[in-house]
Amino acid sequence: MTLRTLVLTGMCLLATACGSSGATVVSGPAGSGSSAVSTVVASGSGSASAPVAGAGPAKLKVEVWLLRDGRLWPVLRAVPPTVAVVRAAVNSLLRGATAADTGAGVVSAVPAGTQLLGISLHDGIATVDLTSDLQGHGVAAERLALAQLVFTVTQYPTVRGMTLHLDGAPVAALADGLVVPNPLRRASLGFPRLVSPITVTSPRPGTSVHAPFTVTGVADVFEAGIRYRLLDASGHELGSGESSASCGSGCPGTFSFQIPELGVSHRERGTLVIAAANASGRPGGGRPVGLPLVLLPPFDVATPLPGATLTSPAQITFRDPIVTPVVLKIYDAKFHVLARRIVRAACGANCPPGFAYTSHIPFSVAGLQQGYVVLAPRDSHPAASGQVVEIPVTLNGG
C-alpha cells in the first residue's frame, strides 16, 4: 500500500455519518508515512467497507503514533467501519500499546485511563477534549504524549492542527508547566526532532517473516537513497540492498522494497537495519533504524540442527505440516546425491495445531564426512525464489 490523497469533507472525519448525498472516499494517511487503506462510505449510512479480502466484517485501518526508543513510531490499528476516522484513531491511541507492541519495544506516553470526551473540527483545526488524566506526569512525558496525539489527529491533510481541551475547558499549559500552543501542529514543541529520518511501517517490530517479504516506510534522507542490511542473530549479514524514497533531502517520501530470501535454515531472531545511503550507495549520515524480526525458513525444520551428526536412516522433523510436496535430498561432501525423497504430511492443510511431521531417510556413506540436507519445493524454481533450505551436517556411515 502507498500513501494516498485524502478526499473527504472535514466534518465527516469526526461525525458518525455524513449528511450529503453521494459517496465519500476516505484515503489516508497522506502526510505521515504509514500505509493507507481506502474506504468508500455511503453518505448518511454510517457504514464503510475497506478493500480487505476474506470473510468477516470489513475493517478500517487507522494510524496511531506510539513511541519506540524515545521517538515517534506509527502503527496501524483495525477499527470497525466508520466515517469518524479521527475519533476512532484517537480512541485507539488512548487504548495504549498492545502486548505485541510492548514486546517489540513500542510503548505509549499517554497515561492509562485518559478518555476522549469530545472531538470536533472547524476550519481544519480539530478540538480534542480529554480527561485531565493526560497531565501531571512530568514535562517530558507530557510533551511525548502531546506529540503522539497531534500526529495521530493530523494524519489526514484536512486536519492541519489541534486545540487541546481538558475536562471541557481549553488548556494553555499543563499541570507541570508545559505551555500548549493554540493550535498544536506537527512543528510545535520540537516535535520534528522526535521523528526518525527513517520510519518503517511494515513489517512491525518482532514480526515473523518468510521470504519474500516487503518492507515499507517513510524516509527523509539525502537524495532519497536508503540501504538495508539483514543480519542474523549473531550479527552476520544475510543480505543487503539499496532502494529509494519517493522524495528526499528535506521532504519525507515513501519507500517499498522486497527482500527475496533470508538465507536461514531454522527459525531465528534477526535484525533489518535501514540507513540513509550517499551517492556511492554506502550508508550515509543519520541514525540507522534497527528492526527486530523473527526470520523463518521456507520449511521450519526442527531436526537436524546445523552441524548435527546423522546416522542412517536420517530423521528429518518439521515443526509445521508439509502442505505441499517437498523434495528432500542428502548430499555428501562432493554434492553427490545419497538419498532423495518427496515428503508431505498426510493430513496436509488439516493437520492439528502443534503437529510435527517426521520422515526417516536411509543413506549410505563411508566413515565420517561433511554432508548436507537440502529441501526445496517440488515443481518450482527454488534457486530463483529463494526457497531452498541447506543444512550442513556430519554424515556417519559407521
pLDDT of amino acid 379 = 67
Using an 8 Å Cβ cutoff, are 353 and 317 in contact?
A: no
pLDDT of amino acid 133 = 93
pLDDT of 321 higher than 50: yes
- What is the bridge-based pairing of β-strands 208-209 and 289-295? parallel
pLDDT of amino acid 50 = 34
Q: What is the mean pLDDT of residues 192-213?
A: 85
Q: What is the mean pLDDT of residues 335-350?
A: 82
pLDDT digits (tens, 9 = 90+) for 145-189: 999 999 999 988 889 999 999 999 999 999 888 999 999 999 999
Q: What is the mean pLDDT of residues 276-297?
A: 72
* Sheet strand arrangement including 337-343: 309-311, 389-396, 368-377, 326-331, 337-343
pLDDT of 293 higher than 50: yes
Determine whether 381 is exposed, middle or buried from the number of CB atoms within 10 Å of its CB (0-12, 13-18, 19+).
exposed
Domains of the chain as residue ranges with CATH: 10-194 (no CATH), 198-295 (2.60.40.10), 301-396 (2.60.40.2550)
pLDDT digits (tens, 9 = 90+) for 26-84: 223 333 333 322 222 222 222 222 333 333 456 788 889 999 888 888 888 888 887 68
pLDDT of amino acid 241 = 92
pLDDT of amino acid 278 = 66
Q: Higher pLDDT residue, 149 or 380?
A: 149
pLDDT of amino acid 27 = 26
pLDDT of 289 higher than 50: yes
Please, what is the average pLDDT of the chain? 78
pLDDT of 346 higher than 80: no
pLDDT of amino acid 6 = 31
Question: What is the reported pTM?
Answer: 0.57
Lowest mean pLDDT among 132-146, 170-184, 243-257: 243-257
pLDDT of amino acid 13 = 52
pLDDT of 395 higher than 90: yes
pLDDT of 198 higher than 80: yes
Closest CA to 27 of 15, 13, 17: 13
